[in-house]
Structure 1
Amino acid sequence: MLKSARKKPRDPEGRMPLVEHLRELRNRLVKALLAIVPLTILALFFAKDIAEFISAPVPTCASESEAAAQAGRCAVLSQVGLTSPFSTYMKVSLMAALVAAAPVWLYQLWAFVAPGLHRHEKKYALSVVGIGTPLFLLGAYLAHWILPFAVKTLLGFSISGSVNYITVDDMIDISVKMTLAFGLAFQLPIVLALLNIGGVLSGQRMLGWWRPMVMIIAVFSAVVTPTDPMSMIALAVPMTALYFGAVIFSLINDRRRGRAQGPELSDDEASDLDLTPEDIGEVEAVPAPRALPEQASAERVNGYDDVT
């Protein structure tokens, strides 16, 4: 006789044994792969168009003689090796599938983490996803806009009479790196806002750090972007604006929190203590202890003599 398998009720706080966590992780990964693999196969039919779009910022030359005559103003786009075209197609297809399937695997990641979060933590996490995604896309668009200027600047360092060979794989790598760098850099205000909400950083402290933070942003922009001043400024200016936006949010949040919690005390100030007992009008008299049986007598008070 078959026993009907009943699912165990889930813990409301999301607690489960380690084996259950691993099984849940496996299921989430399988569901994410079921979305990525078909999209990768579909992207193979458009891999050539995607590769041409990624390599479009390269000013290509028709021949090596033209590249030598242009003195670094153009380059020869090449693919080295017999298997290079196929590996490029696979890399481009996988990258496109990861981007297209982002809603699916992000949801699976959220579904795996969400049971262990409290209600207010879920609210903050959804806010981070809702705000962080447009910021990441904005940073990715800015990277794609800067990339043609960066390529021309780098080609400008070529020696006269030399020929530059740029492979499609190199363009894919630099495009992915710049996209990730710009997209993650635009997550700075979200990190600062979460630190403020968690009580780690105050708005006044962040405002006091504006000079070193502007310097750090400038150095970061110079390291991430190529040696083009325009690219550096194009990244540093929006990052600085986002930093001050996070400072303004933190100042408003601190003021709102201060109104909810009342005035804060300084480190060397003691708070007033209320020593008034509760329900003072209903204090009952404490009954006297009863005398012990072997000591009870008329001369003893409450069972004790004057010696004890």
Structure 2
Amino acid sequence: MARKRFSLAWLKPPPVPPDGVMSLSDHLRELRYRLVAAIVSIILGMIVMAFFYQPLYALLLQPWSTAVEALRVSRPDISTSVVNIGIVAPFALAMRVTAAAGIVLSSPFWLYQVWAFVMPGLKQNEKKAALLFIGAAVPLFLAGIVVGYLILPQGIAVMLTFTPDSVEVTNMLDINSFLVMLLQLMLASGVAFLLPVFLVGLNLAGVVKGASLGKFRAYAVFGCFVFGAVVTPSTDPFSMSAIAVPMAVLYIAAEVVCRSLDKRKAKRLAESDLLVEL
């Protein structure tokens, strides 16, 4: 009896038909392939960034140090301490730091997998437009990461001002909780900055029209400010606006791009109808 040879053929994506139309089972196979590829890229990114754990740890702790130093100008007597509670806490800390760094490092690869899952259903000329626009996805994601990182010191300083000065209090920072908050803020900000990429992708897929984005513009801008208020840890308007204003601008930019793409689609459709009549 012949032995079965180990094969990863089941993982390969299905061939894309010339017209780009795929069955539901093929879409699921494509989704499985893209998810596995994205996860593998993130794991490899984690392995690479594990060698830089110490500098990453110092970099991520810098917002806390910056906030404390800024607050000591007005509150020189404030007492702070960084603690790591629990036996497995150091390992959990290392995993969180390397996981977040791996996501950032591998962002070009998993962002490509997201777009590649959408692109098989697009026409060739629309694929070219998508490839041009996806070039903005990675810089936008990284810009959001940086914004989330930079606004945190202001939020920490605001929170520490509530420390009463009438009694002696030591603000003990649980480093794991702090890094969870920081990483969530950075990743949420990075994903938020991808808003125009997803909107244009939906437009290319025929799901969203530029005119529809215009109708909901006021609601979308309001939603951007609500999102900024939710994800930022402080109550000051600067931190909220640092995320909300760029998101609103990016939404309007996506609307402009979608309207332009809709006009091109309508023009091509009119030309094809004219050729059919002739």
- If the length of structure 1 is used for normalisation, what is the TM-score? 0.64
264, 268, 277: which one aligns with 1:260: 268
Structure 2 residue 223 is matched with structure 1 residue 216? yes
Cα gap change, 1:229/1:105 in structure 2, threshold over 3 Å: closer, same or farther? closer
Instruction: State which drifts further: 133-142 or 213-222.
Output: 213-222
Q: 1 CA distance for matches of 2:263 and 2:102?
A: 45
Residue from 97, 105, 109 that aligns with 1:100: 105
Deviations 1:76-134 (A, max 9, x none): 11111233223323332343344334455666x47994896555475566456432221
How far is the alpha carbon of 1:17 from its aligned partner?
12
- Structure 1 distance, partners of 2:232, 2:101, is 23
In the alignment, does 2:86 pair up with 1:84? Answer: no
Could you tell me which residue of structure 2 aligns to residue 190 of structure 1? 197
- Cross-structure match for 1:153: 158
> Per the alignment, in what secondary structure is the counterpart of residue 81 of structure 1?
coil
Separation (CA, whole Å) in 2 of partners of 1:165 and 1:152: 14
1:131: which partner in 2? Answer: 136
Q: 1:103 to 1:249 in 2, by over 3 A?
A: closer
- Alpha-carbon deviation of 1:53? 0.9
Q: Which residue of 2 aligns with 1:285?
A: none
Residues 252 and 28 of structure 1: CA distance in aligned 2, closer, same or farther (over 3 Å): closer
Paired residue type of 2:53: A
Structure 1: state its 5+ residue gaps: 264-273, 279-308
Aligned residue runs from structure 1 range 155-304, under 5 A = 155-160=160-165, 161=167, 162-226=169-233, 227-262=235-270
Q: Which has the higher contact order (CA 8 A, sep 6+)?
A: 2
8 Å CA contact 2:107, 2:138 repeated in 1: no
Two-structure CA RMSD over aligned residues (Å): 4.3
Q: Deviation per CA, 1:225-272, whole angstroms, max 9, x where unpaired?
A: 121211011112111111111222223223333333339xxxxxxxxx
Check whether the contact 1:181–1:224 (CA below 8 A) recurs between aligned residues. Answer: yes
Count of residue pairs the alignment pairs up = 251
Alpha carbons of structure 1 residues 70 and 83: separation in structure 2 relative to 1, 3 Å: farther
Using the TM superposition, give the Cα deviation of residue 222 of structure 1 relative to its aligned residue in structure 2, in angstroms.
1.1
Q: Larger Rg: 1 or 2? A: 1
Asked if 1:52 corresponds to 2:67, the answer is: no
Aligned residues of 2:111 and 2:137 also touching (Cα < 8 A): no
How far apart, in 1, do the equivalents of 2:118 and 2:184 lie? 30
Report the Cα offset of residue 166 of structure 1: 0.9
- Identity across the alignment (%): 29
Contact 1:48 1:89 in 2 (8 A): no
Residues 15-47 of structure 1 show CA distances to partners (whole Å, capped at 9, x for unaligned) of 8997xx87x95898489649836x645544432
Q: 1:261-298 CA deviation, whole Å, 9 max, x = no partner?
A: 339xxxxxxxxxx9xxx9xxxxxxxxxxxxxxxxxxxx
